[in-house]
């Protein structure tokens, strides 16, 4: 990680731009990890989700206003770090309240051990991400503590990857197309591929009435362990892909 290599007095550019480069890389890595976790574990902010590109733009703006600008004016990395990281810590704490809560209740509801493990590793991933601003504020520029705590989240998610095919097998047992009619299978496939579709949009796409759609959905829910459209929406993207693959 470049933020662990810089600043370096032997580097051919000044300490100030080195710190800005290192922090920029760190923010980009944290943002992309957040995008991955949010997409893979299918969590959202309360009832109305916030687009990831909007989160990225706000984070970039705040990085400029709360870190780069104060740093270039005061030349104090300590003050700039506190300004930005304190806000970042609060923002991630609020996000974790939503994300971890959703994964925790999903984990409690799951009966299959592999699916429980998936939600648990998601919680550990978010814990690793949340640890980054906390350790920076608490321990300053201690790379050993910062990188170890942050890498813990990566490690948990990496372990989760090795259970992917086992989860895929278990999930296909849960959501089986064999008991469904061709039409029911078609409807379920569309819902798995497009969980954001409303019932009205789905009925228009299928060219059937909402009443007919409701009948099909009732049959689908009876034949699978899915109880509602919300259950489909709560499935991670990788799960949905594995079922329709």
Residue 89: φ, ψ to 5°: -65, -45
Q: Are residues 44 and 89 in the same domain?
A: yes
Q: Are 126 and 35 in contact (CB under 8 A)?
A: no
- The single-letter DSSP state of residue 199 is H
Quick one: 231 and 216 in the same domain? yes
Q: Which of 32-36, 58-62, 228-232 has the weakest average pLDDT? A: 228-232
pLDDT at 3 over 60: no
Helix, strand, coil abundance in the chain, percent, nearest 5: 80, 0, 20
Same domain, residue pair 36 and 92: yes
Q: How far apart are CA 82 and CA 66, in angstroms?
A: 9
Residue 90 and residue 97: Cα distance in Å, rounded?
A: 11
Within 10 Å of residue 135's Cβ, how many Cβ atoms?
Answer: 20
What's the confidence (pLDDT) of residue 229? 81
Note whether 122 and 64 are same-domain residues. yes
Indicate if the pLDDT at residue 238 is higher than 70.
no
| End position of a domain, from candidates 132, 162, 192 | 162
Q: Which domain holds residue 195?
A: 169-244
Give me the half-sphere count of Cα atoms (radius 13 Å) on the Cβ side of residue 140.
3
**Averaged pLDDT of the chain:** 82
What CATH number does residue 185 fall under? 1.10.10.10
pLDDT band at 245; cut points 50, 70, 90: low
31-54: average pLDDT: 79
User: Is the confidence at residue 201, as pLDDT, over 50?
Assistant: yes
**Are 189 and 153 members of one domain?**
no
Q: Among 117, 137, 162, which residue terminates a domain? A: 162
pLDDT higher than threshold 70 for residue 190: yes
pLDDT 10s digits, 118-160: 889 999 999 998 888 888 888 877 778 888 888 889 899 998 8
pLDDT over 70 (residue 176): no
User: Residues near 86 by Cβ (< 8 Å), separated by ≥ 6?
Assistant: 133, 137
Same domain, 152 and 178: no
- How many domains would you assign to the chain? 2
pLDDT, tens digit, 9 for 90 and up, residues 206-215: 899 989 999 9
Say if residue 28 is in the same domain as residue 110: yes
Q: What is the pLDDT of residue 244?
A: 65
pLDDT band at 2 (very low <50, low <70, confident <90, very high): very low
* Residue range 3-12: mean pLDDT, rounded: 69
154 and 185 in a common domain: no
* DSSP code string of 156-171: HHHHHHHTHHHHHHHH
Omega before 7 cis (within 30°)? yes
**63-95: per-residue pLDDT in tens?**
898 889 989 998 888 888 888 888 877 877 787
**Phi/psi of residue 176, nearest 5 degrees:** -100, 135
Place of tokens 């004016």: 73
Domain co-membership, 143 together with 235: no
Decide which of 131, 147, 162 is a domain's last residue: 162
Residues 6+ apart with CB under 8 A from 194: none
Let me know whether 108 and 214 are in one domain. Answer: no
Of 125 and 11, the structure prediction assigns the larger pLDDT to 125
198 & 147 share domain: no
CA distances from 151 to 144, 158, 241 (A): 10, 10, 27
Instruction: Indicate if 59 and 116 belong to the same structural domain.
Output: yes
């Amino acid at each position: 990680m470049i933020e662990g290599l810089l600043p370096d007095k032997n580097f051919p550019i000044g300490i100030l731009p080195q710190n800005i480069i290192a922090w920029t890389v760190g923010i980009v890595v944290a943002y992309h990890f957040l995008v991955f976790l949010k997409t893979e574990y299918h969590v959202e902010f309360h009832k109305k989700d916030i687009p990831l590109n909007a989160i990225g733009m706000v984070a970039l703006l705040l990085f400029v206003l709360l870190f780069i600008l104060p740093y270039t004016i005061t030349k104090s990395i300590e003050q700039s770090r506190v300004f930005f990281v304190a806000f970042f810590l609060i923002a991630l704490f609020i996000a974790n309240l939503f994300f971890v809560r959703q994964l925790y209740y999903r984990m409690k509801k799951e009966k299959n051990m592999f699916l429980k493990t998936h939600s648990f590793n998601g919680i550990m991933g978010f814990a690793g991400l949340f640890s980054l601003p906390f350790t920076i504020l608490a321990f300053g520029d201690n790379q050993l503590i910062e990188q170890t705590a942050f890498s813990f989240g990566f490690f948990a998610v990496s372990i989760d990857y090795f259970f992917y095919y086992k989860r895929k097998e278990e999930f296909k047992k849960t959501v089986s197309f064999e008991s469904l009619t061709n039409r029911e299978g078609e409807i379920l496939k569309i819902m798995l591929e497009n969980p954001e579709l409303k019932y009205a949009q789905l009925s228009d796409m299928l060219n059937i009435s909402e009443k007919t759609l409701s009948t099909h959905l009732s049959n689908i829910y009876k034949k699978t362990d899915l109880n509602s459209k919300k259950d489909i929406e709560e499935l991670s993207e990788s799960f949905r892909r594995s079922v329709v693959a």
